[in-house]
Structure 1
Amino acid sequence: MPVEPTRHGALKRVLVRHEDVNSPLMFLNEVSVRPGEVIAAHQHEDMEEVFYFLEGEGTMQIEDETRPVTAGDRVIVPHRNLHVLQNTGNKHMRFLCFGVKVVQ
């Protein structure tokens, strides 16, 4: 599967697209973030995101709270929450990320 740039910085390999499934799953991506790189602040109006970190270390900011993240950590970002991810380590950070449409 090819690697492509994300809209917010970093590189991603799209594993599953919304069109591939008949469910609220919006995507499943494997993402690589270079040392010092930041995935810029953004939010999703109708989707939660789940991050599972495979390698590296960094910080995840959700709204006003910033927490360290490393391999083995899981972070859930509720819809409409502004979030930023930064690689603070000296090697690539890799994680799986999937988005789920909020059903109301």
Structure 2
Amino acid sequence: MRITQVDSLPVQYVSHDSNVEKRVFLKYGEVPHLSQFATATLKPGEQATLHHHDDMTETFHFLSGKAEVEVDGKVHLATAGTTVTVFPKEAHEIRNNGTEDVIMVYFGIVD
């Protein structure tokens, strides 16, 4: 068993965007097929830039703020309570064009 408090986790940065802060609850290899389980914060004006994963499904659950989520060229609005799942090879980007932080929890499952 493991119990984790988010405030006790060190701040890290998303590999494809060094300004996006994250805190990792579970990292790759700790649970079968899980690439990571983490929380991320996008400050106003920040984005997780367009990218895709060849062999990973990624799920984002939004806790606060308003984000634009672009998946394969289509833009969707995500607010608190929204969950977005992106499948392998789907290009995705998350943008905070608002005035408050966007906070989300997310995880990736590797095929």
TM-score normalized with structure 1 length: 0.93
Number of matched residues?
101
One-letter amino acid of the structure 2 residue matched with residue 57 of structure 1? K
Gap regions ≥5 residues in structure 1:
none
Instruction: Detail structure 1 runs of 4+ shifted over 4 Å in the superposition.
Output: none
* CA deviation vs aligned residue, 1:66-99 (integer Å, no higher than 9, x gap): 1011100000001111101001211110000100
- The residue that corresponds to 1:29 in the other structure is 38
1:12 to 22, 27, 42: 22
Tell me how far apart the structure 2 counterparts of residues 58 and 20 of structure 1 sit (CA, whole Å): 30
Tell me how far apart the structure 1 counterparts of residues 107 and 58 of structure 2 sit (CA, whole Å): 6
Counterparts of 1:80-95 in structure 2 under 5 Å?
80-95=89-104
- The residue that corresponds to 1:78 in the other structure is 87
Please, what is the CA RMSD of the aligned residues? 0.9
- The residue that corresponds to 1:64 in the other structure is 73
Identity %: 30
One-letter amino acid of the structure 1 residue matched with residue 87 of structure 2? P
Tell me how far apart the structure 2 counterparts of residues 38 and 15 of structure 1 sit (CA, whole Å): 21
1:24 Cα deviation after fit = 1.2
